[in-house]
A and B are shown apart, each in its own frame.
Chain A
Amino acid sequence: MNYKMHILVCGGTGCRASASAQIITRLEECLRDKNLEDEVQVIATGCFGFCEKGPIVKIMPDNTFYVQVKPDDAEEIVNEHIIKGRKVERLLYKDPERKVAVSDSKHMGFYKKQLRIALRNCGFIDPENIEEYIARDGYSALAKCLTEMKPEEVIAEIKLSGLRGRGGAGFPTGMKWEFASKYQADQKYVVCNADEGDPGAFMDRSIMEGDPHSIIEAMAICGYSIGATKGLVYIRAEYPLAIHRLQVAIKQAKEFGLLGENIFGTGFHFDIEIRYGAGAFVCGEETALIHSMEGQRGEPTMKPPFPAEAGYLNRPTNVNNVETLANIPVIITRGANWFNKIGTERSKGTKVFALAGKINNVGLIEVPMGTTLREVIYEIGGGIKNGKKFKAVQTGGPSGGCLTEKHLDVPIDFDNLLASGSMMGSGGMIVMDEDDCMVSVAKFYLDFTVEESCGKCTPCRVGNKRLYEILDKITQGKGTMEDLDTLQNLSQVIKDTALCGLGQTSPNPVLSTLNNFYDEYVAHIRDHKCPAGKCKALLSFHIDPELCIGCGLCARNCPVDAIVGERKSPHFIDTSKCIKCGTCIEKCKFKAISTR
């Protein structure tokens, strides 16, 4: 007999960190107690995307969406909702504007504008059960390619779809496949680049955790098209759950005969192995990735030769990013002409973004290309946290740039982001508010690229370090106006001369903040002021004599005895001794201490 109800519990990394595995155990216990285990099925799914309010629990068929569920809520869900059919009001999502509970996800602002293609199965199927993937049309795209299409027809279909690489550069996927197919060799390779390294980006991880079979199917399709029989997934070892789900999926696909010898009886062989990365950012660059898999140092090399000609073990190799691959099966089953109707003229389909930073709805979203930043940040993301003012959004991770208010209505696609001085990158989106200092933000990203530079080419190794030092000097209030010209020139030189994508893009945060927030740099240099109040060296602490009652609490807590004053009369800060640690501000109960 079939189950009457399904309880879907998010089993992604984010929700598991908030005890979603225990929620499943407790739900199953409660159901057993009530003899309902044969009527109600509990399923661990992939990411629902609404990580801000995780763990998420969804009840089917009445499509109820519970947020921030704790293991102790399991009993109430079973007793009230499952047995009596009454929704547990307090666990429903509250619409922040209308202050009313929204019981199903379709009516939540977060989901309204989304179109989930790459994430189609995330939060819907059990990723560790191949049958659920097959029930959702899984492996039918592979079957269609192997039994009805010639390899060149598959490539033509992908080209027609207009799909571009989702890993960062946006190179047309069909063209990449065509190059790899042209070279002859005894062995060719399909590589899935799952080395997701941008700070704050987690779309590839979520796809692998929530729908691993879509990657396997797409790699096999690619193998058929370019004439490769071996696939490799290069995944960072920091993604244990994604690795586990991939391993399970590969094993199941082999058991079902969907990987291995003679797939669908067509004589096509394909196998997949997993290779582990140690988490170096540069290994997301395809040549560095290939060297890392070969057991060499993870350093990039000059292109050409492109991997399509001489890649892994010097054989023709096609490298695609996880999200790119997740789109392939749908393009085959629904057709390129369905896919290329979505999106903008030169960027087709959808893009997954990881929303992070000072935004209300932190999470994973997928929207059609051409959606504006405003729609993403305000309608889906729910606006800025704590009612603060929007200042900038960093797209494309450490290699991207900061976009501002004036870019909010730009339709997001590969070309528009580049024209605005940023880039698509892998799709990280970090939102900043009025409290963020843009010089510090640029410094933060430079710190990351300096750390992650492999050191092979001088512009990246030395140039980025110099950029970092200048930015550090400016945040200390020791910068000069000439430094701004040096930043500009040096950035341009690094962009033009660095060996790989890492160095060529690393000055982007500096250039875009210089362009959009020039005044903020000037304020640091000329006025020795940090307008956002972030750069400690430029702050001075001050006690308002009107507000201070002379309780002495600040003086007792000051680690360097910089605060003096008689009891019951206003105190003073000796700025020559003050180390600007901020302890006094935290301790003062009368808000008498401020920075300026």
Chain B
Amino acid sequence: MEKIKSLSDLKRIKSQVQEKLDLREKSEQVENLIQIRVAMATCGIAAGSKETMNYFIEHLAENGINAVVTQTGCMGYCYAEPTVEITKPGKEPIVFGHVTPEKAEEIIQKYLKHDELVEGIIPVNYNTI
């Protein structure tokens, strides 16, 4: 183990390990962050939702987006898997269908960064309790 010999050593180690706790820190204030829910039921997984979820997890930070990625069950849009529901703080959730990694990139660049809507939005017309 390398020794911490100065304040800058401590800061360096802190920045290295902070990422590991990032997930926990964020979940404490989830309502202030963008929430991305990837449908991961059988239909979703068969259609490749795992790659989609990984794509989001790996590419959000490098784009400077503070978001929490969680998985959820089947949303009922099995025809449009992988489906992803995105909730920005204080806004209504939006469901995107057929989200391949390429689509995910488009969502990151357009919707998450600039609030521009992209093709493939599924109108949500039911209520949940």
Cα–Cα, bound, A256→B14 (Å): 13
Is the pair A257, B4 in contact by a Cβ cutoff of 8 Å? Answer: yes
Is the pair A61, B10 in contact by a Cβ cutoff of 8 Å? Answer: no
Cα–Cα, bound, A532→B37 (Å): 56
- CB-contact partner of B10 in A8, A84, A85, A134, under 8 A: A134
Is the pair A131, B69 in contact by a Cβ cutoff of 8 Å? Answer: no
Question: Given A135-B20, A257-B4, are A63 and B30 neighbors across the interface (CB < 8 Å)?
Answer: yes
Is the pair B5, A131 in contact by a Cβ cutoff of 8 Å? Answer: no
Is the pair A132, B7 in contact by a Cβ cutoff of 8 Å? Answer: no
Is the pair B27, A135 in contact by a Cβ cutoff of 8 Å? Answer: no
Inside 8 A of A6's CB, which chain B residues have their CB? 23-24
Inside 8 A of B37's CB, which chain A residues have their CB? 85
B residues 96-115 touching A (CB-CB < 8 Å): none
Question: Given A61-B27, A131-B20, are A140 and B1 neighbors across the interface (CB < 8 Å)?
Answer: no
Cα–Cα, bound, A136→B5 (Å): 19
Task: Give, as a whole number of angstroms, the nearest-CB distance from A221 to chain B.
Answer: 14
Is the pair B69, A256 in contact by a Cβ cutoff of 8 Å? Answer: no
Cα–Cα, bound, A136→B17 (Å): 9
Cα–Cα, bound, A464→B53 (Å): 68
Is the pair B4, A135 in contact by a Cβ cutoff of 8 Å? Answer: no
- CB-contact partner of A132 in B6, B10, B17, under 8 A: B17
Question: Given A61-B70, A140-B14, are A132 and B20 neighbors across the interface (CB < 8 Å)?
Answer: yes
Question: Given A85-B72, A131-B17, A135-B14, are A60 and B6 neighbors across the interface (CB < 8 Å)?
Answer: no
* B71 interfacial by beta-carbon distance below 8 Å: yes
* B93 interfacial by beta-carbon distance below 8 Å: no
B residues 3-44 touching A (CB-CB < 8 Å): 3-7, 10, 13-14, 17-24, 26-28, 30, 37, 39-41
* B68 interfacial by beta-carbon distance below 8 Å: yes
* A4 interfacial by beta-carbon distance below 8 Å: yes
Cα–Cα, bound, A147→B18 (Å): 22
Cα–Cα, bound, A60→B73 (Å): 16
Is the pair B24, A143 in contact by a Cβ cutoff of 8 Å? Answer: no
CB-CB contacts of B54-93 with A at 8 A, as 1s and 0s? 0001100000000011111100000000000000000000
Is the pair B19, A2 in contact by a Cβ cutoff of 8 Å? Answer: yes
- CB-contact partner of B17 in A62, A134, A147, A265, under 8 A: A134
**What is the size, in residues, of chain B's interface with A at 8 Å between Cβ atoms?**
34
Inside 8 A of B24's CB, which chain A residues have their CB? 6, 8, 60-61, 124
**What is the size, in residues, of chain A's interface with B at 8 Å between Cβ atoms?**
33
Residue of A nearest to B19 (CB): A2
Cα–Cα, bound, A139→B58 (Å): 30
With a 10 A CB-CB cut-off, give which of B18, B24, B30 has the most chain A CB atoms. Answer: B24
Cα–Cα, bound, A132→B37 (Å): 27
Question: Given A83-B40, A86-B73, A256-B3, are A134 and B27 neighbors across the interface (CB < 8 Å)?
Answer: no
Inside 8 A of A3's CB, which chain B residues have their CB? 20, 23
Is the pair A85, B23 in contact by a Cβ cutoff of 8 Å? Answer: no
Cα–Cα, bound, A2→B19 (Å): 8
Is the pair A256, B4 in contact by a Cβ cutoff of 8 Å? Answer: yes
Cα–Cα, bound, A181→B19 (Å): 40
* A97 interfacial by beta-carbon distance below 8 Å: no
Cα–Cα, bound, A264→B13 (Å): 13
Residue of B nearest to A146 (CB): B7
Inside 8 A of A264's CB, which chain B residues have their CB? 4-7, 10
Is the pair B23, A257 in contact by a Cβ cutoff of 8 Å? Answer: no
Question: Given A85-B72, A134-B13, A143-B10, are A60 and B3 neighbors across the interface (CB < 8 Å)?
Answer: no
Residue of A nearest to B33 (CB): A61
- CB-contact partner of B18 in A5, A61, A85, A135, under 8 A: A135
- CB-contact partner of A85 in B17, B57, B71, under 8 A: B71
* A566 interfacial by beta-carbon distance below 8 Å: no
Is the pair B5, A257 in contact by a Cβ cutoff of 8 Å? Answer: yes
Inside 8 A of B20's CB, which chain A residues have their CB? 2-3, 131-132, 135
CB-CB contacts of A128-142 with B at 8 A, as 1s and 0s? 000110111101100
Cα–Cα, bound, A134→B17 (Å): 8
Cα–Cα, bound, A555→B71 (Å): 64
Is the pair B30, A139 in contact by a Cβ cutoff of 8 Å? Answer: no
Question: Given A6-B23, A124-B24, A140-B14, are A256 and B1 neighbors across the interface (CB < 8 Å)?
Answer: yes
Cα–Cα, bound, A62→B19 (Å): 17
Cα–Cα, bound, A151→B26 (Å): 36
Task: Give, as a whole number of angstroms, the nearest-CB distance from A136 to chain B.
Answer: 7
* A191 interfacial by beta-carbon distance below 8 Å: no
Residue of A nearest to B21 (CB): A135
Is the pair A143, B21 in contact by a Cβ cutoff of 8 Å? Answer: no
Cα–Cα, bound, A257→B2 (Å): 8
Is the pair A125, B21 in contact by a Cβ cutoff of 8 Å? Answer: yes
Task: Give, as a whole number of angstroms, the nearest-CB distance from B62 to chain A.
Answer: 13
* A482 interfacial by beta-carbon distance below 8 Å: no
Is the pair B73, A85 in contact by a Cβ cutoff of 8 Å? Answer: yes
* A258 interfacial by beta-carbon distance below 8 Å: yes
Is the pair B70, A134 in contact by a Cβ cutoff of 8 Å? Answer: no
Task: Give, as a whole number of angstroms, the nearest-CB distance from A119 to chain B.
Answer: 14
- CB-contact partner of B21 in A84, A85, A132, A147, under 8 A: A132
Cα–Cα, bound, A84→B42 (Å): 8
Between A and B, 20 residue pairs with Cβ closer than 8 Å are A2-B19, A2-B20, A2-B23, A2-B57, A4-B53, A61-B23, A61-B26, A63-B27, A84-B40, A85-B70, A86-B73, A131-B13, A132-B20, A134-B17, A135-B18, A135-B21, A140-B14, A255-B1, A256-B1, A257-B3
Give chain A's interface residues, CB within 8 Å of chain B: 1-6, 8, 60-63, 83-86, 124-125, 131-132, 134-137, 139-140, 143, 147, 255-258, 264-265
- In order of increasing CB-CB distance, the 9 nearest A-B pairs are A257-B3, A85-B71, A61-B27, A131-B17, A85-B72, A60-B27, A135-B21, A135-B17, A255-B1
